[in-house]
């Protein structure tokens, strides 16, 4: 009995040490990342704090999100519906937390995501927008949520259908559809630069598209572009939200493979 109690105490102490170490790691990474974003803003002649950091926490445990929450973060990006739903349930006690779904979303998952997501990125078809409108309306009706779902449209910068995104007249039509949906709110645009294009060129193109959209939908002010490796280029071209995983969280856990 004594040996069992000692083993349990040792295990608890080890867990505390692991959490303390992880807290120190995340705190240092977060501080460095905020400084990096502020430096990018200064270099671009933009006000400090004008670019929002969205931690991308997919593949990482709910305990990491809780640590970041305690470090002052409130918004988190997830991209897998089942994993995200589990984390939402585990962290339901964190009253100010806000979840943003940033991955490609299948229509059959739209109803589930609409119950907990504040924002859905990468909307690139009228059918997905329709599914999200229906899911959000159902969540509003049953009290699962009390606000419209914010939507960012994904812009295709290379016309590659495997990467998702919408272009040209289709983008205008989709923007009109979302803006006219009672349960949705058109928040802005997002994009991922093609691998074979310089980030500055890609983000310059995205900025032009966003400027054109704002003429017809001035409320769509969010421009989400830039990740760990290219956030400075994105900030130079007007990004208002950078989505950062690796530079904050570190390498993906081996168990996620």
Do residues 220 and 213 make contact, with C-beta atoms less than 8 angstroms apart? yes
Distance CA 7, CA 49 (A): 47
Distance CA 77, CA 98 (A): 9
Q: Tell me, what's the pLDDT at 78?
A: 98
Supply the pTM of this predicted model: 0.91
**Side-chain half-sphere CA neighbours of 143 within 13 A:** 0
Distance CA 63, CA 166 (A): 36
DSSP letters, the chain, are -HHHHHHHHHHHHHHHHHHHHHHHHHHHHHHHHHHHHHHHHHHTT--TT-SEEEEB-TTS-HHHHHHHHHTT--EEEE--HHHHHHHHHHTTT-TT-EEEE-S---GGGHHHHTTT-SEEEEE--HHHHHHHHHHHHHHHHHTS-SSPEEEEEEBPSS--GGG--B-HHHHHHHHHHHHH-TTEEEEEEE----TTS-HHHHHHHHHHHHHHHHHH-TT--EEE---TTTHHHHHHTT-SEEEESHHHH-SPPGGG-
Q: Tell me, what's the pLDDT at 1?
A: 58
Q: Other C-beta atoms within 10 Å of 160: how many? A: 11
Task: Give the mean pLDDT per block of 10 residues along the chain (257 residues).
Answer: 58 82 98 98 96 98 98 98 97 97 95 98 96 98 96 92 85 98 98 92 97 98 97 98 97 66
Here the tokens at position 174 are 């989709």
Q: Tell me, what's the pLDDT at 257?
A: 42
Distance CA 241, CA 52 (A): 5
Domains and their CATH numbers in the chain: 2-256 (3.20.20.10)
- Which residues partner with 52 through β-bridges? 241
């Amino acid at each position: 009995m004594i040996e069992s109690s000692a083993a349990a105490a040792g295990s608890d102490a080890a867990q505390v040490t692991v959490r303390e170490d992880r807290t120190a790691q995340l705190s240092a990474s977060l501080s460095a990342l905020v400084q990096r974003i502020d430096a990018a803003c200064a270099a671009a002649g933009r006000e400090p704090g004008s670019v929002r950091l969205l931690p991308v926490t997919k593949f990482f445990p709910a305990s990491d999100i809780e640590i970041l929450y305690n470090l002052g973060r409130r918004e988190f990006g997830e991209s897998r519906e089942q994993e995200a739903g589990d984390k939402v349930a585990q962290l339901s006690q964190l009253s100010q937390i806000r979840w943003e779904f940033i991955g490609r979303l299948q229509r059959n998952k739209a109803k589930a995501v609409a119950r907990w997501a504040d924002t859905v990125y990468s909307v690139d078809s009228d059918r997905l927008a329709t599914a999200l409108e229906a899911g959000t309306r159902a969540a509003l009706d049953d009290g699962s949520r009390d606000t419209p779902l914010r939507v960012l449209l994904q812009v295709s910068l290379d016309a590659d259908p495997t990467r998702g995104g919408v272009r040209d007249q289709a983008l205008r039509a989709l923007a009109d559809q979302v803006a006219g949906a009672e349960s949705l709110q058109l928040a802005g645009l997002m994009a991922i630069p093609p691998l074979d294009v310089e980030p500055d060129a890609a983000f310059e193109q995205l900025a032009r598209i966003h400027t054109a959209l704002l003429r017809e939908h001035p409320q769509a002010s969010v421009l989400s572009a830039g990740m760990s490796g290219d956030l400075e280029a994105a900030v130079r071209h007007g990004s208002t939200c950078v989505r950062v995983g690796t530079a904050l969280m570190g390498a993906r856990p081996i168990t996620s493979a």
